Protein backbone atom coordinates (compact mmCIF):
# COMPACT_ATOMS: atom_id res chain seq x y z
CA UNK A 1 0.00 0.00 0.00
CA UNK A 2 1.36 3.41 -0.91
CA UNK A 3 1.88 6.15 1.63
CA UNK A 4 -0.99 8.61 1.84
CA UNK A 5 -0.94 12.38 1.93
CA UNK A 6 -1.98 14.03 5.18
CA UNK A 7 -3.02 17.66 5.72
CA UNK A 8 -0.05 20.01 5.61
CA UNK A 9 1.84 17.95 3.05
CA UNK A 10 3.21 15.37 5.52
CA UNK A 11 3.01 11.70 4.68
CA UNK A 12 1.85 8.98 7.03
CA UNK A 13 2.79 5.33 6.88
CA UNK A 14 -0.03 2.77 6.95
CA UNK A 15 -0.95 1.55 10.41
CA UNK A 16 -0.67 -1.96 11.82
CA UNK A 17 -1.28 -4.71 9.28
CA UNK A 18 -1.26 -2.26 6.37
CA UNK A 19 -4.43 -0.51 7.59
CA UNK A 20 -4.39 3.06 6.31
CA UNK A 21 -6.99 5.33 7.92
CA UNK A 22 -6.37 8.04 5.34
CA UNK A 23 -7.48 5.68 2.59
CA UNK A 24 -10.45 4.54 4.69
CA UNK A 25 -11.39 8.15 5.35
CA UNK A 26 -12.01 8.71 1.65
CA UNK A 27 -14.91 6.25 1.84
CA UNK A 28 -16.83 8.69 4.08
CA UNK A 29 -18.44 11.62 2.25
CA UNK A 30 -18.93 13.68 5.42
CA UNK A 31 -15.19 14.37 5.57
CA UNK A 32 -15.33 16.09 2.20
CA UNK A 33 -17.25 18.97 3.75
CA UNK A 34 -15.72 21.58 6.08
CA UNK A 35 -17.42 22.85 9.24
CA UNK A 36 -17.62 26.47 10.37
CA UNK A 37 -17.11 27.28 6.66
CA UNK A 38 -13.37 26.57 6.54
CA UNK A 39 -12.42 24.08 9.24
CA UNK A 40 -11.45 20.47 8.57
CA UNK A 41 -13.90 18.13 10.32
CA UNK A 42 -12.19 16.34 13.21
CA UNK A 43 -14.80 13.84 14.32
CA UNK A 44 -14.01 12.31 17.70
CA UNK A 45 -17.50 11.24 18.80
CA UNK A 46 -17.90 7.80 17.25
CA UNK A 47 -18.95 6.31 20.59
CA UNK A 48 -22.13 8.36 20.17
CA UNK A 49 -22.60 7.53 16.49
CA UNK A 50 -20.24 6.57 13.69
CA UNK A 51 -20.03 8.24 10.31
CA UNK A 52 -21.41 6.37 7.28
CA UNK A 53 -19.34 5.13 4.35
CA UNK A 54 -20.53 5.63 0.82
CA UNK A 55 -21.17 1.88 0.46
CA UNK A 56 -23.81 2.00 3.20
CA UNK A 57 -25.44 5.16 1.90
CA UNK A 58 -25.63 3.72 -1.60
CA UNK A 59 -27.06 0.41 -0.36
CA UNK A 60 -29.91 2.18 1.43
CA UNK A 61 -30.60 4.29 -1.67
CA UNK A 62 -30.54 1.17 -3.86
CA UNK A 63 -33.08 -0.52 -1.60
CA UNK A 64 -35.47 2.40 -1.94
CA UNK A 65 -34.88 2.65 -5.68
CA UNK A 66 -35.12 -1.03 -6.64
CA UNK A 67 -36.46 -3.17 -3.75
CA UNK A 68 -38.82 -1.02 -1.71
CA UNK A 69 -41.80 -3.04 -0.50
CA UNK A 70 -42.98 -4.43 2.82
CA UNK A 71 -41.01 -7.52 3.81
CA UNK A 72 -42.94 -10.73 4.46
CA UNK A 73 -46.17 -9.24 3.06
CA UNK A 74 -46.40 -9.15 -0.72
CA UNK A 75 -46.05 -12.28 -2.86
CA UNK A 76 -45.22 -10.16 -5.92
CA UNK A 77 -41.62 -9.94 -7.14
CA UNK A 78 -40.84 -6.57 -5.56
CA UNK A 79 -42.07 -7.81 -2.19
CA UNK A 80 -39.95 -10.93 -2.57
CA UNK A 81 -36.88 -8.78 -3.25
CA UNK A 82 -37.53 -6.77 -0.09
CA UNK A 83 -38.01 -9.94 1.96
CA UNK A 84 -34.82 -11.46 0.58
CA UNK A 85 -32.79 -8.33 1.36
CA UNK A 86 -34.23 -8.28 4.90
CA UNK A 87 -33.56 -11.96 5.58
CA UNK A 88 -30.13 -11.82 3.96
CA UNK A 89 -29.35 -9.10 6.50
CA UNK A 90 -30.39 -11.46 9.29
CA UNK A 91 -27.94 -14.06 8.03
CA UNK A 92 -25.21 -11.40 7.83
CA UNK A 93 -25.84 -10.41 11.45
CA UNK A 94 -25.82 -14.05 12.55
CA UNK A 95 -22.41 -14.59 10.94
CA UNK A 96 -21.13 -11.35 12.44
CA UNK A 97 -21.79 -12.48 16.02
CA UNK A 98 -21.17 -16.18 15.29
CA UNK A 99 -24.72 -17.18 16.16
CA UNK A 100 -25.55 -20.83 15.56
CA UNK A 101 -28.67 -19.90 13.60
CA UNK A 102 -30.34 -16.76 12.16
CA UNK A 103 -33.36 -17.68 14.30
CA UNK A 104 -31.42 -16.16 17.21
CA UNK A 105 -31.28 -12.73 15.54
CA UNK A 106 -34.13 -10.34 16.37
CA UNK A 107 -34.20 -6.98 14.62
CA UNK A 108 -34.96 -3.95 16.78
CA UNK A 109 -34.46 -0.20 16.63
CA UNK A 110 -31.19 -0.45 18.55
CA UNK A 111 -29.48 -1.51 21.76
CA UNK A 112 -31.97 0.25 24.02
CA UNK A 113 -34.99 -1.45 22.48
CA UNK A 114 -33.17 -4.80 22.49
CA UNK A 115 -32.56 -4.58 26.22
CA UNK A 116 -36.11 -3.45 26.91
CA UNK A 117 -37.37 -6.39 24.86
CA UNK A 118 -35.57 -8.71 27.28
CA UNK A 119 -36.92 -6.77 30.23
CA UNK A 120 -40.53 -7.19 29.10
CA UNK A 121 -40.56 -10.54 27.32
CA UNK A 122 -38.14 -12.44 29.54
CA UNK A 123 -37.97 -10.40 32.74
CA UNK A 124 -41.67 -10.21 33.55
CA UNK A 125 -42.02 -13.97 33.22
CA UNK A 126 -38.85 -14.98 35.06
CA UNK A 127 -38.01 -12.37 37.71
CA UNK A 128 -40.00 -12.31 40.95
CA UNK A 129 -39.90 -10.95 44.48
CA UNK A 130 -36.78 -12.14 46.27
CA UNK A 131 -34.81 -12.59 43.03
CA UNK A 132 -31.76 -10.52 42.18
CA UNK A 133 -30.37 -8.85 39.06
CA UNK A 134 -26.68 -7.92 38.97
CA UNK A 135 -25.39 -5.01 36.88
CA UNK A 136 -21.95 -3.40 36.81
CA UNK A 137 -21.08 0.03 38.13
CA UNK A 138 -20.15 1.25 34.65
CA UNK A 139 -23.38 0.50 32.78
CA UNK A 140 -25.00 2.90 30.35
CA UNK A 141 -28.48 3.95 31.46
CA UNK A 142 -29.90 1.67 28.75
CA UNK A 143 -28.54 -1.33 30.65
CA UNK A 144 -29.48 0.00 34.08
CA UNK A 145 -32.81 1.86 34.06
CA UNK A 146 -34.80 -1.06 32.53
CA UNK A 147 -33.61 -3.29 35.38
CA UNK A 148 -34.42 -0.63 37.97
CA UNK A 149 -37.93 -0.54 36.52
CA UNK A 150 -38.27 -4.32 36.47
CA UNK A 151 -37.11 -4.63 40.07
CA UNK A 152 -39.58 -1.92 41.07
CA UNK A 153 -42.40 -3.83 39.41
CA UNK A 154 -41.52 -7.28 40.72
CA UNK A 155 -39.93 -6.68 44.12
CA UNK A 156 -36.61 -8.11 42.97
CA UNK A 157 -33.34 -6.59 44.17
CA UNK A 158 -30.83 -4.80 41.95
CA UNK A 159 -27.19 -5.33 42.93
CA UNK A 160 -24.04 -3.74 41.53
CA UNK A 161 -20.61 -5.12 40.69
CA UNK A 162 -18.15 -2.29 41.45
CA UNK A 163 -15.05 -1.09 39.64
CA UNK A 164 -11.60 -0.43 41.07
CA UNK A 165 -9.58 2.78 40.92
CA UNK A 166 -8.29 1.90 37.44
CA UNK A 167 -11.79 1.50 36.05
CA UNK A 168 -11.62 -2.29 35.91
CA UNK A 169 -14.39 -4.60 37.12
CA UNK A 170 -13.95 -6.13 40.56
CA UNK A 171 -14.41 -9.68 39.32
CA UNK A 172 -12.90 -10.89 42.58
CA UNK A 173 -16.28 -9.98 44.14
CA UNK A 174 -18.35 -12.12 41.79
CA UNK A 175 -18.54 -15.07 44.19
CA UNK A 176 -20.24 -12.93 46.81
CA UNK A 177 -22.56 -11.09 44.43
CA UNK A 178 -23.70 -13.95 42.19
CA UNK A 179 -25.85 -16.24 44.32
CA UNK A 180 -28.68 -18.75 43.98
CA UNK A 181 -31.05 -15.74 43.98
CA UNK A 182 -29.42 -14.19 40.89
CA UNK A 183 -31.59 -14.46 37.77
CA UNK A 184 -29.74 -12.17 35.37
CA UNK A 185 -26.30 -10.58 35.12
CA UNK A 186 -25.98 -7.54 32.82
CA UNK A 187 -22.56 -6.38 31.65
CA UNK A 188 -21.19 -3.96 29.10
CA UNK A 189 -18.58 -5.56 26.87
CA UNK A 190 -16.88 -2.17 26.54
CA UNK A 191 -17.61 0.93 28.61
CA UNK A 192 -18.78 3.98 26.67
CA UNK A 193 -17.07 6.22 29.25
CA UNK A 194 -13.95 4.45 30.48
CA UNK A 195 -13.32 2.37 27.38
CA UNK A 196 -12.79 -0.63 29.67
CA UNK A 197 -12.99 -3.97 27.88
CA UNK A 198 -14.67 -6.29 30.34
CA UNK A 199 -14.00 -10.04 30.86
CA UNK A 200 -17.47 -11.10 29.79
CA UNK A 201 -16.70 -14.82 29.69
CA UNK A 202 -15.54 -14.76 33.31
CA UNK A 203 -18.78 -13.03 34.30
CA UNK A 204 -20.83 -15.47 32.22
CA UNK A 205 -19.16 -18.50 33.81
CA UNK A 206 -19.98 -17.17 37.29
CA UNK A 207 -23.59 -16.50 36.32
CA UNK A 208 -24.17 -19.84 34.64
CA UNK A 209 -22.71 -21.66 37.64
CA UNK A 210 -25.80 -20.60 39.63
CA UNK A 211 -28.29 -20.92 36.76
CA UNK A 212 -28.49 -17.20 35.95
CA UNK A 213 -28.59 -15.77 32.44
CA UNK A 214 -26.21 -13.16 31.01
CA UNK A 215 -27.04 -10.09 28.92
CA UNK A 216 -24.20 -8.28 27.14
CA UNK A 217 -24.41 -4.67 26.00
CA UNK A 218 -22.20 -4.77 22.90
CA UNK A 219 -23.09 -1.31 21.59
CA UNK A 220 -19.48 -0.18 21.91
CA UNK A 221 -17.65 -3.45 21.32
CA UNK A 222 -19.39 -4.73 18.20
CA UNK A 223 -18.03 -1.96 15.94
CA UNK A 224 -14.50 -2.07 17.31
CA UNK A 225 -13.70 -5.52 18.66
CA UNK A 226 -16.29 -7.71 17.04
CA UNK A 227 -18.28 -10.14 19.15
CA UNK A 228 -18.55 -13.93 19.29
CA UNK A 229 -21.58 -15.07 21.25
CA UNK A 230 -20.27 -18.63 21.41
CA UNK A 231 -16.94 -17.55 22.90
CA UNK A 232 -18.64 -15.14 25.30
CA UNK A 233 -21.24 -17.81 26.17
CA UNK A 234 -23.89 -15.13 26.64
CA UNK A 235 -27.65 -15.65 26.58
CA UNK A 236 -28.50 -12.20 25.19
CA UNK A 237 -26.40 -9.66 23.33
CA UNK A 238 -27.47 -6.27 21.97
CA UNK A 239 -25.92 -3.79 19.56
CA UNK A 240 -26.91 -0.88 17.31
CA UNK A 241 -26.30 -0.31 13.61
CA UNK A 242 -25.49 3.39 13.86
CA UNK A 243 -22.38 2.85 15.99
CA UNK A 244 -20.86 0.48 13.40
CA UNK A 245 -21.21 2.77 10.38
CA UNK A 246 -24.82 1.79 9.68
CA UNK A 247 -28.08 3.76 9.69
CA UNK A 248 -29.93 4.91 12.77
CA UNK A 249 -33.11 3.06 13.69
CA UNK A 250 -31.79 -0.49 13.42
CA UNK A 251 -30.23 -2.90 15.87
CA UNK A 252 -29.98 -6.51 16.93
CA UNK A 253 -30.91 -8.62 19.89
CA UNK A 254 -29.14 -11.95 19.84
CA UNK A 255 -30.86 -14.49 22.06
CA UNK A 256 -29.95 -18.05 22.77
CA UNK A 257 -32.47 -19.99 20.70
CA UNK A 258 -33.79 -22.09 23.58
CA UNK A 259 -34.35 -18.95 25.67
CA UNK A 260 -36.14 -17.06 22.89
CA UNK A 261 -38.44 -20.03 22.28
CA UNK A 262 -39.81 -19.70 25.82
CA UNK A 263 -40.33 -15.92 25.68
CA UNK A 264 -43.73 -14.31 24.97
CA UNK A 265 -43.97 -11.46 22.45
CA UNK A 266 -42.82 -7.94 23.22
CA UNK A 267 -45.26 -5.98 21.02
CA UNK A 268 -48.62 -7.03 19.64
CA UNK A 269 -49.64 -6.40 16.05
CA UNK A 270 -49.13 -7.61 12.52
CA UNK A 271 -46.70 -10.36 11.51
CA UNK A 272 -45.93 -11.48 15.08
CA UNK A 273 -49.02 -13.69 15.07
CA UNK A 274 -49.81 -17.15 13.78
CA UNK A 275 -53.61 -16.98 14.01
CA UNK A 276 -56.02 -14.46 15.53
CA UNK A 277 -59.58 -14.81 16.77
CA UNK A 278 -61.76 -12.08 18.24
CA UNK A 279 -60.71 -12.95 21.80
CA UNK A 280 -57.29 -14.60 21.52
CA UNK A 281 -54.25 -15.19 19.33
CA UNK A 282 -51.42 -17.62 18.83
CA UNK A 283 -47.96 -16.34 18.04
CA UNK A 284 -45.44 -16.70 15.26
CA UNK A 285 -42.18 -18.63 15.53
CA UNK A 286 -38.96 -16.92 16.54
CA UNK A 287 -37.61 -14.44 15.66
CA UNK A 288 -40.75 -13.09 13.99
CA UNK A 289 -42.90 -13.07 17.11
CA UNK A 290 -40.69 -10.22 18.35
CA UNK A 291 -40.90 -8.14 15.14
CA UNK A 292 -44.41 -6.71 15.18
CA UNK A 293 -45.53 -4.33 12.46
CA UNK A 294 -43.48 -2.92 9.62
CA UNK A 295 -39.85 -3.03 10.63
CA UNK A 296 -37.15 -0.53 9.62
CA UNK A 297 -36.37 -2.58 6.54
CA UNK A 298 -34.08 -0.19 4.67
CA UNK A 299 -32.13 0.50 7.85
CA UNK A 300 -31.68 -3.22 8.50
CA UNK A 301 -30.41 -3.68 4.95
CA UNK A 302 -28.03 -0.76 5.50
CA UNK A 303 -26.82 -2.36 8.74
CA UNK A 304 -25.86 -5.49 6.82
CA UNK A 305 -23.93 -3.34 4.33
CA UNK A 306 -22.09 -1.70 7.24
CA UNK A 307 -21.18 -5.08 8.69
CA UNK A 308 -19.88 -6.17 5.29
CA UNK A 309 -17.83 -2.97 5.10
CA UNK A 310 -16.07 -3.27 8.46
CA UNK A 311 -15.66 -7.02 8.06
CA UNK A 312 -13.91 -6.51 4.73
CA UNK A 313 -11.51 -4.04 6.37
CA UNK A 314 -10.87 -6.59 9.09
CA UNK A 315 -11.87 -6.22 12.73
CA UNK A 316 -8.40 -7.27 13.86
CA UNK A 317 -6.89 -4.49 11.75
CA UNK A 318 -9.42 -1.98 13.07
CA UNK A 319 -8.64 -3.00 16.64
CA UNK A 320 -4.88 -2.76 16.06
CA UNK A 321 -5.25 0.71 14.54
CA UNK A 322 -7.42 1.92 17.41
CA UNK A 323 -5.06 0.46 20.02
CA UNK A 324 -2.12 2.36 18.53
CA UNK A 325 -4.15 5.55 18.20
CA UNK A 326 -5.55 5.27 21.73
CA UNK A 327 -2.06 4.87 23.19
CA UNK A 328 -1.02 8.00 21.32
CA UNK A 329 -4.13 9.89 22.50
CA UNK A 330 -3.66 8.88 26.15
CA UNK A 331 -0.16 10.38 26.17
CA UNK A 332 -1.10 13.42 24.13
CA UNK A 333 -4.17 14.38 26.16
CA UNK A 334 -2.30 13.79 29.44
CA UNK A 335 0.39 16.21 28.25
CA UNK A 336 -2.15 19.05 28.48
CA UNK A 337 -2.59 18.47 32.22
CA UNK A 338 -5.97 16.81 31.77
CA UNK A 339 -7.14 14.12 34.16
CA UNK A 340 -7.95 10.92 32.28
CA UNK A 341 -10.42 8.33 33.54
CA UNK A 342 -10.28 4.60 32.97
CA UNK A 343 -7.62 1.95 32.50
CA UNK A 344 -4.07 3.29 32.04
CA UNK A 345 -3.15 1.30 28.92
CA UNK A 346 -4.61 0.99 25.44
CA UNK A 347 -4.57 -2.81 25.74
CA UNK A 348 -7.20 -2.63 28.48
CA UNK A 349 -9.55 -0.26 26.69
CA UNK A 350 -11.16 0.61 23.40
CA UNK A 351 -10.76 3.87 21.51
CA UNK A 352 -12.42 6.04 24.18
CA UNK A 353 -10.63 8.69 26.23
CA UNK A 354 -12.73 10.47 28.88
CA UNK A 355 -11.01 13.39 30.59
CA UNK A 356 -11.38 16.71 32.35
CA UNK A 357 -9.23 19.79 31.90
CA UNK A 358 -8.63 21.69 35.16
CA UNK A 359 -10.81 24.79 35.61
CA UNK A 360 -12.70 24.23 32.34
CA UNK A 361 -16.18 22.71 32.48
CA UNK A 362 -16.60 19.89 29.93
CA UNK A 363 -19.53 21.67 28.26
CA UNK A 364 -17.45 24.82 27.82
CA UNK A 365 -14.57 22.73 26.57
CA UNK A 366 -16.67 21.02 23.90
CA UNK A 367 -17.94 24.39 22.71
CA UNK A 368 -14.43 25.84 22.53
CA UNK A 369 -12.87 22.96 20.57
CA UNK A 370 -15.83 22.95 18.19
CA UNK A 371 -14.64 26.35 16.96
CA UNK A 372 -11.63 24.48 15.57
CA UNK A 373 -13.84 21.84 13.93
CA UNK A 374 -13.18 19.27 16.67
CA UNK A 375 -16.20 17.20 17.72
CA UNK A 376 -16.11 15.65 21.20
CA UNK A 377 -18.82 14.66 23.64
CA UNK A 378 -19.37 16.43 26.96
CA UNK A 379 -21.70 15.40 29.78
CA UNK A 380 -22.48 12.35 31.87
CA UNK A 381 -22.63 10.09 28.79
CA UNK A 382 -25.83 8.40 30.03
CA UNK A 383 -23.85 6.98 32.95
CA UNK A 384 -24.63 9.17 35.94
CA UNK A 385 -23.94 6.51 38.61
CA UNK A 386 -20.48 6.04 37.10
CA UNK A 387 -19.91 9.82 37.17
CA UNK A 388 -20.70 9.79 40.88
CA UNK A 389 -18.26 6.93 41.37
CA UNK A 390 -15.60 9.03 39.61
CA UNK A 391 -16.51 12.04 41.74
CA UNK A 392 -17.35 14.34 38.82
CA UNK A 393 -20.62 15.65 37.35
CA UNK A 394 -19.41 15.19 33.77
CA UNK A 395 -16.40 14.58 31.55
CA UNK A 396 -15.27 15.41 28.07
CA UNK A 397 -14.87 12.37 25.83
CA UNK A 398 -12.91 11.79 22.64
CA UNK A 399 -13.78 8.54 20.88
CA UNK A 400 -11.94 7.22 17.87
CA UNK A 401 -12.74 4.88 15.03
CA UNK A 402 -11.31 3.50 11.83
CA UNK A 403 -11.24 6.86 10.00
CA UNK A 404 -9.31 8.76 12.69
CA UNK A 405 -5.61 9.62 12.55
CA UNK A 406 -2.89 11.09 14.74
CA UNK A 407 -3.61 14.40 13.04
CA UNK A 408 -7.08 14.29 14.61
CA UNK A 409 -5.58 13.74 18.05
CA UNK A 410 -3.08 16.54 17.45
CA UNK A 411 -5.92 18.87 16.46
CA UNK A 412 -7.75 18.03 19.69
CA UNK A 413 -4.65 18.65 21.80
CA UNK A 414 -3.98 21.98 20.09
CA UNK A 415 -7.54 23.05 20.86
CA UNK A 416 -7.21 21.91 24.47
CA UNK A 417 -4.10 24.00 24.88
CA UNK A 418 -5.96 27.06 23.61
CA UNK A 419 -8.93 26.31 25.88
CA UNK A 420 -6.73 26.46 28.96
CA UNK A 421 -6.31 30.19 28.47
CA UNK A 422 -9.99 31.05 28.17
CA UNK A 423 -10.79 31.15 31.88
CA UNK A 424 -7.44 32.21 33.34
- The 10s digit of each residue's pLDDT in 351-369 is 999 999 998 999 999 999 9
Coil, helix or strand at residue 371? coil
pLDDT value, residue 10: 27
Contacts of 25 (CB under 8 A, 6+ apart): 31, 403, 405
Please tell me whether residues 232 and 104 are part of one structural domain.
yes
**Structural domain includes residue 51:** no
pLDDT value, residue 74: 83
Burial of 330 (0-12, 13-18, 19+ CB in 10 A): buried
As a whole number of angstroms, the distance between CA 50 and CA 192 comes to 13
pLDDT (average), residues 27-41? 96
Give this prediction's pTM. Answer: 0.94
| pLDDT of 6 over the 50 cut | no
Please tell me whether residues 173 and 191 are part of one structural domain.
yes
Confidence of residue 73 (pLDDT cuts 50, 70, 90): confident
Low-confidence winner among 5-14, 53-62, 127-136, 267-276 (lowest mean pLDDT): 5-14
- % of the chain at pLDDT higher than 70: 95
382 part of the active site: yes
Range of the domain at 399: 4-33+314-419
Confidence of residue 15 (pLDDT cuts 50, 70, 90): very low
Coil, helix or strand at residue 82? helix
- The 10s digit of each residue's pLDDT in 128-184 is 999 999 999 999 999 999 999 999 999 999 999 999 999 999 999 999 999 999 999
- Boundary (domain end) residue, out of 311, 339, 364: 311
**Structural domain includes residue 151:** yes
Confidence of residue 18 (pLDDT cuts 50, 70, 90): low
Q: Which residues of 272-286 are buried (b: 16+ CB within 10 A; e: fewer)?
A: bbeeeeeeeeebbeb
Confidence of residue 109 (pLDDT cuts 50, 70, 90): very high
- Boundary (domain end) residue, out of 311, 340, 359: 311
- What CATH number does the domain containing 16 carry? 3.90.1150.10
Contacts of 398 (CB under 8 A, 6+ apart): 44, 45, 329, 333, 352, 353, 355, 376, 409, 412
Please tell me whether residues 63 and 189 are part of one structural domain.
yes
344 closest CA partner among 167, 164, 137, 161: 167
pLDDT (average), residues 31-58? 97
pLDDT value, residue 25: 96
Domain count of the fold of the chain: 2
| pLDDT of 14 over the 60 cut | no
| pLDDT of 87 over the 70 cut | yes
pLDDT value, residue 422: 72
Coil, helix or strand at residue 185? strand
**Structural domain includes residue 424:** no
**Structural domain includes residue 269:** yes
Provide the mean pLDDT of the chain. Answer: 94
| pLDDT of 226 over the 80 cut | yes
Confidence of residue 424 (pLDDT cuts 50, 70, 90): low
- Boundary (domain end) residue, out of 288, 311, 334: 311
412 closest CA partner among 380, 382, 368: 368
Catalytic residue among 151, 186, 375, 382: 382
Amino acid sequence: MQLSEQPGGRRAAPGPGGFDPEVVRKDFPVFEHPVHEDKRLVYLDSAATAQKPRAVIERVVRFYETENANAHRGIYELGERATKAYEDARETCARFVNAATPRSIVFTRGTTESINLVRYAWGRANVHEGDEILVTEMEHHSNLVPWQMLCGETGATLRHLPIDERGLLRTDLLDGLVTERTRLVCVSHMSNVLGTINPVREVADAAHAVGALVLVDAAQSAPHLGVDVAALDCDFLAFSAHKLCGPTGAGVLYGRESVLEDMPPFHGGGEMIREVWSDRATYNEIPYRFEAGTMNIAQVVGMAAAIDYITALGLDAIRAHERELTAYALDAVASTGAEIYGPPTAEQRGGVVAFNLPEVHPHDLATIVDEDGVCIRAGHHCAQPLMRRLGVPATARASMYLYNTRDDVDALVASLEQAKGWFS
